[in-house]
Amino acid sequence: MVRMQKCLLAMLALGCASTALWGSDLMLWYQQPATKPINESLPIGNGRIGGLISGGVDSDRIVLNEDSLWTGGLNPDGNYDTMGSYQMLGDLLIHLPAHQNAVAYRRDLDIGEALAHVGYQVNGVKFFREYFCSHADGVLVVHLTADHPGSYSGSIELKDSHGASTVADRDRLIDSGRLKNGLKYEAQVIALNEGGTLANDGTTVLFTNCDSLTLLVAAGTDYAMNYAAQYRGPDPHRVVDDRIHAAAAKSYEALRRAHEMDFHAFFDRVGLSLGKSSPEQIALPTDQRKVAAAAKVDPQLEELFFQYGRYLLIACSRPGGLPANLQGLWNDSNQPAWDSDYHANINIEMNYWLAEPANLAECALPFFELVDSQLPAWRRATQTDPEFKTADGGLASRGFALRTSHNIFGGMGWRWDRTANAWYAWHYWAHFVFGGDKIFLRNTAYPYLKETSEFWEDHLKTLPDGRLVVPNAWSPEHGPTEDGVSYSQEIVWDLFNNTVAAADALGVDKEYRDRIAGLRDRLATPGVGSWGQLLEWMTEKHDPQNPELDTRSDHHRHTSHLFAVYPGNQISVAKTPGLAQAAKVTLSARGDTGDVREWSFAWRTALYARLGDGNDAHRELQQLFSNRNTCLNLFGLHPPMQIDGNFGITAGICEMLVQGQAGEINLLPALPDAWPTGEVKGLRVAGGFTVDLAWSDGKLTSADIHSTGGTVCQVRYGGIIRAKKLEVGKTLHWDGNLD
């Protein structure tokens, strides 16, 4: 309430232009409603249900999503066309026919509070809407107020996106249906009024002369992350009904308080300041400001973009729900691009790069839950496919592989991405190595790592010289299919290396651990080519069909063979300077023109950061602001909209500020000239540390390293190295000149 009054006061005082009084600086704001939902509407979500707010004046459209609303099934033959796709749930439409000709319009999303707003005036009356999606109460909430009593008359519609009809029951709308795969879904909207009256005409709720309205939306399906139950659970009606009634029994203020407490517990863990933007930059609405930021550095917008990745992950990936798909949680189509699927050759991995360093580790849990629930189906598909004959000619009997794409029912699609199983293992290991949770390591991560290592133990091919290679692999989505492509070699190296470390951390499987360590050391490592590049394949390519392949003009969007630089760590400036130099040659040749897309810029940012090159990392980041690479609502734009770039860039910025690899915590390893002065609090690094840093004139001024893992803390700043064993809960503080 206090906040709403503050916002109304701001509107009264300043019309619609100011951001300063409106709330936090972390604000996306616009002077017009959205016209294209996925590109312009503002996203809210609670990890399971989501909304895209258009903020239309006389008709507000909120696209509704529920993360398990998927077509498809087991899809045993792996045909991408029959794999199914993520669906849109429907639209919540608020019709306000008398509200045409609004002035002083403003629409915003305050990502520091997880609240969206619309404000405008009609005939001297000030109208205000506030929207949020509560994890605490499981409902999406819209609150409509005005500074004049009795100003709201209109109707509420709930439109099913699969043609099912909605029925009205007093002040409630109920929409239920079944997809072709039998999946049952239900959505309900309830309207609560102050003043005026509510009625219904059988399909819509009508409101007349109300002072204010609160709309609550609950939704669910009968999906269950459970292979044994064929991915089905109880009918959603009961849960949806209970949720909406429980929420309706609370006051609007109580719902909002619970939402804010829940959200702040995640969001406030990390603070970032990269310097001050100019008053001219701050005065621009986000759609104009982001375009300008591609040409001229806008530090506060970069900070907003960093935090937007964190906001979006909190909004779309919470324990109990499904992990973020290709569009996170937001979808305005029943035929989304690439089915809005889980894409295993870069995209879903990139979705989760930020979770550990940006201090949102719990948000990674849905990924593990989904993957673990798919394993029985993936094992079956792999172990019956002649593609996976073992070295002795039999069918696979241990482990599983993944195709490039998968759904939520154990079904996969498109070509096999043979080492995606091992790339997923990187995430299981990262969750342990950042957080130190031994129970997770023992019960969840190690079983996954070990089973995947067993698969690769059975499938590696021995070359005449004794080196081991992954057979018949494809460097996504580039060049030929052949043995020993660098992408696959590096990922299997990473898997084996982490399996060894995991067995050591648990003190188990000594013999197995030694065997895997031996295999790791026999894996062919990437070579260096004639122009100093890191080789993407075992041999340099001279392909008349594809003359650019493996040349300085090869600007392919994927940088798969640089996995070992980021997110892997087989190659680093400190430990393998020659290969790091070759990686740099490759990266700069791949460039940032041509085939390079939104997520590619994010990966390149992180790669340059790992290679210690802050200015190049920043150049890649800055390009994301162009209309070619991000939508007006700052969602990544491939095109079409894709969310991995949002998550990837947050991870990339973390890597620019602090890195924890090669056994060190490296402070400000890639600080660009564009951020001479700044501060960051709460970033996590591997080994169990949280780091706060401040810098000025490009130099570190203070560092606080808090131990959550009780391990040796070896810190590097430039050429200076300090090491100290830090007990859990202790902080290592340095100020001023570290030398």
Which residues in this chain contact ligand FUC in the complex, by CB under 6 A?
Answer: 326, 338, 343, 345-347, 477, 557, 597, 599, 638, 642
Is 564 within 8 Å of 606 (Cβ atoms)? no
Instruction: Give 266 or 342: the residue with its C-beta nearer to ligand FUC.
Output: 342
Instruction: Give 42 or 348: the residue with its C-beta nearer to ligand FUC.
Output: 348
Output the smallest distance, CB 559 to ligand FUC, in A: 11
Instruction: Give 248 or 402: the residue with its C-beta nearer to ligand FUC.
Output: 402
Q: Which of 142, 521, 81 is nearest to 341 (CA)?
A: 81
Instruction: Give 405 or 497: the residue with its C-beta nearer to ligand FUC.
Output: 405
Instruction: Give 184 or 556: the residue with its C-beta nearer to ligand FUC.
Output: 556
Output the smallest distance, CB 598 to ligand FUC, in A: 8
Instruction: Give 339 or 655: the residue with its C-beta nearer to ligand FUC.
Output: 339
Is 95 within 8 Å of 56 (Cβ atoms)? no
The conformation of residue 335, written as its DSSP 8-state character, comes to S
Half-sphere exposure of residue 369, counting CA atoms within 13 Å on the CB side? 17
Output the smallest distance, CB 375 to ligand FUC, in A: 23
Output the smallest distance, CB 554 to ligand FUC, in A: 15
CB 165: neighbour CB atoms within 10 A? 11
The packing angle between helices 486-506 and 420-435, to 10°, is 40
Amino acid at 581: Q
Q: Return d(Cα 710, Cα 491) in angstroms, integer.
A: 29
Q: Return d(Cα 160, Cα 152) in angstroms, integer.
A: 25
Amino acid at 40: E
Instruction: Give 106 or 561: the residue with its C-beta nearer to ligand FUC.
Output: 561
CA dihedral 678, 680, 685, 691 (to 10 degrees): 100
Instruction: Give 476 or 484: the residue with its C-beta nearer to ligand FUC.
Output: 476
Indicate the residue whose CB is closest to ligand FUC: 338
Q: Which helix (H) or strand (E) holds 179?
A: none
Instruction: Give 107 or 343: the residue with its C-beta nearer to ligand FUC.
Output: 343
Half-sphere exposure of residue 459, counting CA atoms within 13 Å on the CB side? 32
Cis peptide bond N-terminal to 547, omega within 30? no
Output the smallest distance, CB 659 to ligand FUC, in A: 26
Output the smallest distance, CB 478 to ligand FUC, in A: 9
Output the smallest distance, CB 352 to ligand FUC, in A: 15
Output the smallest distance, CB 589 to ligand FUC, in A: 19
Is 432 within 8 Å of 502 (Cβ atoms)? yes
Instruction: Give 313 or 602: the residue with its C-beta nearer to ligand FUC.
Output: 602
Q: Return d(Cα 713, Cα 82) in angstroms, integer.
A: 51
Instruction: Give 306 or 599: the residue with its C-beta nearer to ligand FUC.
Output: 599
Hey, what are 2's tokens? 């206090």
Q: Which helix (H) or strand (E) holds 377?
A: helix 365-383
Output the smallest distance, CB 600 to ligand FUC, in A: 8
The packing angle between helices 299-316 and 252-267, to 10°, is 110
Q: Return d(Cα 672, Cα 674) in angstroms, integer.
A: 5
Instruction: Give 281 or 560: the residue with its C-beta nearer to ligand FUC.
Output: 560
Q: Which of 503, 404, 405 is nearest to 450 (CA)?
A: 503
Output the smallest distance, CB 602 to ligand FUC, in A: 11
Q: Return d(Cα 313, Cα 317) in angstroms, integer.
A: 6
Output the smallest distance, CB 333 to ligand FUC, in A: 15
Three state DSSP letters for 527-569: CECCCCCECCCCCCCCCCCCCCCCCCCCCCCCCHHHCCCCCCC
| Residue 134 phi, psi (nearest 5) | -95, 125
Give the max Cα distance, the chain. 85
Output the smallest distance, CB 185 to ligand FUC, in A: 25
